[in-house]
Structure 1
């Protein structure tokens, strides 16, 4: 077998026509054109690997019109401008596959067509997109961003399976097919848009840093994921009043859930993770001052009387500035957990609160209430009462008003206070 390999290599190095088939025991390699034409009329050159009667194909990252391909010699005709370069690439990759198979055979390691495909893909298309994405996510400072982006990449990884995903495989066709898959998995239009936005950001970062160069330009030029107008659950002022009037047993989880929901609403849609971690040292007279976990920005919120009444129910002598206002996290030691582990604790407590808010929703006759509904409700009521989108956006702590509607300017602290007075007067 070794003699046959050596003979083939000698011939391949001199005559390009003999790179089409290389038989080595129970494995063979054959260069061919993909039968499927691309949108530009070209067909990709691929290597077909046959091992124990199982076929695997891998693209060489080059595409040509069919008339420039010689199927008998399995090479590019001289009529193509880059025939020398492409034929050299073909020979090199065949030799690499033979060498890899031979090395594994000498060391008595099992070799499969799939493992050879993976090896060749890495050499042709660069490192795995999935691996690059995971490494990028690990470096992110915000645990909330790590969590959301890791979820997106996990979903993508499940789709591509064990064959992996390489940068040059991310083309227009791949993106369209993945979008169709997400739709079949019952993902909403905006969820798909958010997923694709994350994938695009990772792709563009790799491209801009010179990590790889796409063969035919960025696929994101052609692919534009759709975004639908959001229909978010929200409550009216009357429904908020119905929650206020509910008589619940003090000290129960349902009672605490009601109070944290209402305080989030009164504090201009304060995010769940922030209000759950609210400490007494952050309550300063008529204000709540804290650094938002998601944006890492300082926030100062005016306390209206109804918010003070809720806080009063939790205040007792001997409290320390580092004590939590609400009891949900009191049994958890943040200092002993990583940032990612702490997020999971907050997520589980949020799920607990939302479960009790669902019970409250039934009692006041609405479909659904969650902690995020407090945020949506404040935004909707404030916008209807004031008509000032940029003030509402700043009160919510959005990075831009485009999240709320369209960005104009950031509101000042006094403007935020005016907004609170307008909404809760």
Structure 2
């Protein structure tokens, strides 16, 4: 059946109330649109003659652009018909607006992984390499163009990830986030077409399932602080956990990289490794008491407070990554034993120190201050995170109904 290309004014206004000019590609009574990137007032569009009215200040240049774009689209349609290609409207759009670059998704993904290693982001490198391996297993080919990554491809990939690969919904969505990251970079470099972007409104949605974040209560923290009869390695693991908690749930990598030189005039000054944000905090009395256990091994202000990184090759990101990984596992194993000894019936890991701070903070601390303590770049991130620990309004609402 025949196919056609026509300029239209889509009836979907932007925030300013202007309407987008677009090419409508139709095949078998099914249409798909490619916006031209220009918006005009409804009154400036001549529907009958399919052009911008003279009332628009840029009517001449816009009509020239329309003529050029519709001519290009129709030439491409003729070429497709001469090749006897029986393509759908979306496939026609793909053919017409196919980028000229030969770089594939896997080319861009490889560059991304290499850049992470060069920047010393080894943890991120291993994580993203794992997501990439799932895509390679699914596609079973070393060639994957950006045009092939459409909603159908993503849908089938998700089935593969949750089915044959047995990934959780969260992990499957992380794979999609990785694909979206690579695709956006290709669009920025004009290697992939923005018009074929498979994510967003009306297309594939990356939506993470809601999770429950559980932290310790004040009483449970008190049990940790008061516990006795621990081995030296258990005591050290608990000290690291508490140090993280006392400073609003510092990440384990930042804790292990803490040096004595960062402690001056009763304050702790450190730069967060994840986003390089600088923070200066008063050292709580509890943290001061904890630090005294490590002063005996202090040889200079440049020494690490905790011993795990003292033998690390700081010029070798892989060695640093491995030592942090080994230390974290050791801490988590010991914290599990300590949790049992303290008769706490929750699963506790190093990361739960951060959740515990959020749980106890609740809604008692202003979100802007929490944003500073958490070192979040966006207040929305803080609000979403803290919402996991604020239950009072919901509890009061429930009580108001059932307590009669």
Range into which the TM-score falls when normalised by the shorter chain:
0.5 to 0.7
Of structures 1 and 2, the one with the larger relative CO (CA 8 A, separation 6+) is 2
Report whether the alignment pairs 1:132 with 2:112. no
Matched, 1:239 2:220: yes
Cα pair distance change 1:345/1:39, threshold 3 Å: farther
Q: Which stretch shows the higher mean deviation, 157-166 or 271-280?
A: 157-166
Q: Secondary structure at the match of 1:299?
A: strand
1:270 aligns with 2:250: yes
Q: For the Cα contact (< 8 Å) 1:125–1:166, is it kept in 2? A: no
Deviation at 1:40, TM superposition (A): 5.0
- Give 1:242 shift: 1.0
1:50-65 to 2 correspondence within 5 Å?
Answer: none
Q: Residue 334 of structure 2 corresponds to which residue in structure 1?
A: 356
Name which of structure 1's ranges 228-237 and 371-380 shifts more when overlaid on structure 2: 228-237
Structure 2 residue aligned with 1:154:
133
| Shift in CA distance, 165/355, structure 1 to aligned 2, threshold 3 Å | farther
- Secondary structure of the residue aligned to 1:334 is coil
SS at match of 2:294: coil
Check if 1:280 corresponds to 2:266: no
2:279, 2:325 → 1: CA distance?
A: 22
Q: Following TM superposition, where does structure 1 have runs of at least 4 consecutive aligned residues deviating by more than 6 angstroms?
A: 87-91, 122-125
What is the correspondence of 1:383-422 to structure 2 with a 5 Å cutoff? 383-386=362-365, 388-405=366-383
Q: Deviations over 1:356-387 (max 9, x none)?
A: 1111222223231111100111122113432x
What's the counterpart of residue 79 of structure 2? Answer: 85
**Larger Rg belongs to:** 1
When residues 83 and 278 of structure 1 are mapped into structure 2, their CA distance, relative to the original with a 3 A threshold, is closer
2:171 aligns to what? Answer: 191
- Secondary structure of the 1:290 match is strand
Indicate the SS of the match to 1:288: strand
Once the two structures are TM-superposed, the CA of residue 183 in structure 1 deviates from its matched residue by: 2.4
- Structure 1 406/357 Cα, relative in aligned 2: closer, same or farther at 3 Å? closer
Q: Residues 100-154 of structure 1, C-alpha deviation per residue, up to 9 Å, x if partnerless?
A: xxxxxxxxxxxxxxxxxxxxxx999833312211202322446154344333223
Structure 1 residues 302 and 275, CA, compared in 2 at 3 Å: closer, same or farther? same
Is the 1:280–1:322 contact (alpha carbons within 8 Å) kept by the matching residues of 2? yes
- The farther-off stretch of 138-147 and 162-171 is 138-147
* Distance in 1 of aligned mates of 2:149 and 2:295: 56
Q: Is the 8 A contact 1:289 1:300 kept in 2?
A: yes
> Could you tell me whether the CA contact under 8 Å between 1:271 and 1:372 is conserved in 2?
yes
SS, match of residue 159 in structure 1: helix
Query: Is 1:342 equivalent to 2:320 in the alignment?
Result: yes
Over residues 258-302 of structure 1, what are the superposed CA-to-partner deviations in whole Å (9 max), with x where a residue is unaligned? 000001000111111000111111122321112111111212122
Query: Equivalent residue for 2:353?
Result: 374
CA contact (8 A) 2:309 2:320 kept: no
Displacement of 1:241 in angstroms is: 1.0
The number of aligned residues is: 299
What per-residue deviation string (whole Å, max 9, x for no partner) do you get for residues 238-269 of structure 1? 1111111111445x221111000001000111
Please give the alpha-carbon distance, in whole angstroms, between the structure 2 residues aligned to 1:365 and 1:330. Answer: 32
Q: Aligned partners of 1:213, 1:269: CA distance in 2, in Å?
A: 42
2:150 and 2:189 map into 1 onto residues whose CA distance is: 19
Mapping for residues 100-139 of structure 1, pairs under 5 Å: 126-139=102-115
How far 1:209 sits from its partner (Å)?
1.6
Distance 1:379 1:136, change over 3 A: same
- Listed one character per residue, the Cα deviations across residues 188-208 of structure 1 (whole Å, up to 9, x for unaligned) are 333333332232121011012
Q: Who is 1:315 aligned against?
A: 295
Q: How does 1:212-227 map to 2 (within 5 A)?
A: 212-213=192-193, 217-221=196-200, 222-227=203-208
Equivalent pair of 1:264/1:375 in contact (CA under 8 Å): yes
Aligned-pair Cα RMSD in Å: 3.1
Q: Taking structure 2 as the reference length, what is the TM-score of the superposition?
A: 0.66
TM-score normalised by structure 1 residue count: 0.63
